[in-house]
Amino acid sequence: MSFDVAAIREQFPILKREIDGNPLVYLDNAATTQKPQCVIDALVDYYTTCNSNVHRGAHRLADEATRRFEAARDIVKDFIHAPKREEVIWTTGTTEGINIIANGLSQLLSTGDEVIATGMEHHANLVTWQQACKASGATLKTVPVTDDGELDQTAYEALLNERTKFVAFPHVSNALGTVNPVKAMTAKAKEFGAWVLIDGAQGAAHCKVDVQDIGCDFYVFSGHKIYAPMGIGVLWGQASLLENWPVWRTGGEMIATVTLQNATWNVLPYRFEAGTPNVGDAIALGEAIRWFSALDHHAVVAHEKALLDYATELAENFDGLTIIGNAKHKIGVLSFVMDQGHPADIGFLLDRQGIAIRTGDHCAQPLMTRFGVPGTARASFSLYNTLEEVDILFAALKKVRSMLA
Ligand code: PMP
């Protein structure tokens, strides 16, 4: 299978848009990816032909909706190589998946226990553990980040001990693009019997995810960063843990029996799926993953690497520009600052030229503090971006530089 970027782009209607007469150059993929026509069609088709509430309907539409909804769960299971379909829990996104686990953790830990997160977290994978530690009396420790934007593995090993109960880290940093050695880090945590959660928000669309190979206990990601709609995501967890993990939201669907004073809980995955689920978006996520999985993964990775390598080369030769994050293993993200102006000004002036990037702290304030910057300008790449778009970005940055000088 070869990788035809022009044919891929044809499938994304939004990429035909113009901004003030300029062709849209969409380089904000770490924030959210665009959606191929087949995903948009899957959503429209669901609402056009079989919109219905799942699992309890005694009619054809409910049967069809349930079948498509549960088939999407199987697609996710295969995609991340989960051992069991009931381990795939629908959430609203990465943030909710982490909160479900943090809510339970706050009830399972006590004073003297330790939790490890890292200095490169998105706030979703940090503030949650801060709160769980505050509620339980446990202590939060964080792995420092090196000057290159990698996790300091020596420091990580030094933090691990028999009090370590839980370890959380990102698969890929949203702010720097660093790909972390998740399998090795998981193995080290497992030497001390700690549970491991991986924030896969930026991993799922760029890295092969095999939860059994990685050996982690929990893996979370968001649909909207992997070509699916917003409002749907996945929490995967080992059944043996999730079966006993404290429940999160309570209400319909997650119960087995209810009396006026008491309730018992449903089996997985429904134990964590209180209320009417987001059926249409789950089906669309299934379609997005089906579409993405049909591509040649190696070719996708090679293409995205070529984009980042080229952008990095141009950035390194661009006067006044400093790249933040030079990890050996990086994907998808070029974060930078410029001597001539604040990241917000860079973003504004690029937008005038049709180029969409993100500026600011990227929900990673401790990481920005670590690098001594208020924020960065971040161009983030996806499989539909082209080398020509990288050229357009740098030609536009030249204009920005002279405007700000
Ligand atoms: N973690 C990382 C690494 C992210 O990039 C993001 C989204 N920017 C999140 C967590 C949160 O994802 P969501 O907002 O979809 O819940």
Same domain membership, residue 49 and residue 13: no
Residue 159, Cβ neighbours under 10 Å: how many? 17
Instruction: Please report the atom of ligand 1 found closest to the CA of residue 225.
Output: 15
Q: Are residues 63 and 155 in the same domain?
A: yes
Sign of the torsion formed by the C-alpha atoms of 357, 370, 121 and 154 = positive
Is any ligand 1 atom within 6 A of the Cβ of residue 170?
yes
How far is ligand 1, taken at its centre, from the CA of residue 254, in Å? Answer: 26
Domain check: are 138 and 19 in the same one?
Answer: no
Ligand 1 within 6 A of CB of 201 = yes
- Residue type for position 402: S
CB atoms near residue 336 (< 10 Å): 22
> Closest Cα partner for 99 from 128, 123, 136?
128
Residue 281 is assigned to a structural domain of this protein? yes
pTM score over 0.95:
yes
Position 395 in a domain: yes
Q: Which atom of ligand 1 is nearest to the CA of 97?
A: 16
Q: What are phi and psi of 138, to 5 degrees?
A: -75, 165
Same domain, 228 and 259: yes
363 is catalytic: yes
Same domain, 280 and 309: no
- 35 is a domain residue: no
Q: Is residue 342 part of a domain?
A: yes
Same-domain status, 105 and 152: yes
Judge contact between 134 and 73, C-beta under 8 A.
no
Nearest CA to ligand 1 atom 12: 94
Which of 120, 123, 174 maximizes ligand 1 atoms within 8 Å of its Cβ, making it the mutation to test the pocket?
A: 174
Indicate which atom in ligand 1 lies nearest the CA of residue 363: 8
365 and 274: one domain? no
Does residue 94's CB lie within 6 angstroms of at least one atom of ligand 1? Answer: yes
Residue-number span of the structural domain to which 332 is assigned: 5-27+297-404
For residue 94, give the ligand 1 atom closest to its CA.
16
Max Cα separation, the chain?
A: 71
In order along its 405 residues, the chain shows pLDDT tens digits of: 568 999 999 999 999 999 999 999 999 999 999 999 999 999 999 999 999 999 977 899 999 999 999 999 999 999 999 999 999 999 999 999 999 999 999 999 999 999 999 999 999 999 999 999 999 999 999 999 999 999 999 999 999 999 999 999 999 999 999 999 999 999 999 999 999 999 999 999 999 999 999 999 999 999 999 999 999 999 999 999 999 999 999 999 999 999 999 999 999 999 999 999 999 999 999 999 999 999 999 999 999 999 999 999 999 999 999 999 999 999 999 999 999 889 999 999 999 999 999 999 999 999 999 999 999 999 999 999 999 999 999 999 999 999 998
Token pair of 269 as six digits: 């995955």
Q: Is the CB of 121 under 6 A from ligand 1?
A: no
33 lies in some domain: no
The ipTM value here is 0.99
How many residues are listed for the chain in this entry? 405
Structurally, how many domains does the chain consist of? 2
Task: For residue 363, report the distance from its CA to the centre of ligand 1, in Å.
Answer: 8
Per-residue pLDDT tens over the stretch 228-284: 999 999 999 999 999 999 999 999 999 999 999 999 999 999 999 999 999 999 999
Domain shared by 238 and 329, yes or no: no
Domain match, 287 and 307 both: no
Please indicate, yes or no, whether residues 284 and 342 belong to a single structural domain of this protein.
no
215: domain CATH number?
Answer: 3.40.640.10
Q: How far is the CA of 149 from the centre of ligand 1 (A)?
A: 18
| Domain assignment present for 214 | yes
Report if residue 131 sits inside a domain: yes
Q: Last residue of a domain, which of 265, 293, 321? A: 293
Ligand 1 centroid, distance to 122 Cα (angstroms): 7
Q: Does residue 362 line the site of ligand 1, with CB under 6 A? A: no
- The one catalytic residue in 50, 207, 216, 363 is 363
Q: Which of 271, 293, 315 is the last residue of a domain?
A: 293
Tell me, in angstroms, the distance from the centre of ligand 1 to residue 336's CA: 20
Residue 32 maps to a domain: no
- 268 shares a domain with 369: no
Is residue 295 within 8 A of residue 143, CB to CB? The reply is no
My answer on whether 329 and 264 are in the same domain is: no
303: domain CATH number is: 3.90.1150.10
Residue at a domain's end among 293, 311, 340: 293
Distance 94 CA to ligand 1 centre (A): 6
Q: What is the tens place of the pLDDT at every residue in 325-380? A: 999 999 999 999 999 889 999 999 999 999 999 999 999 999 999 999 999 999 99
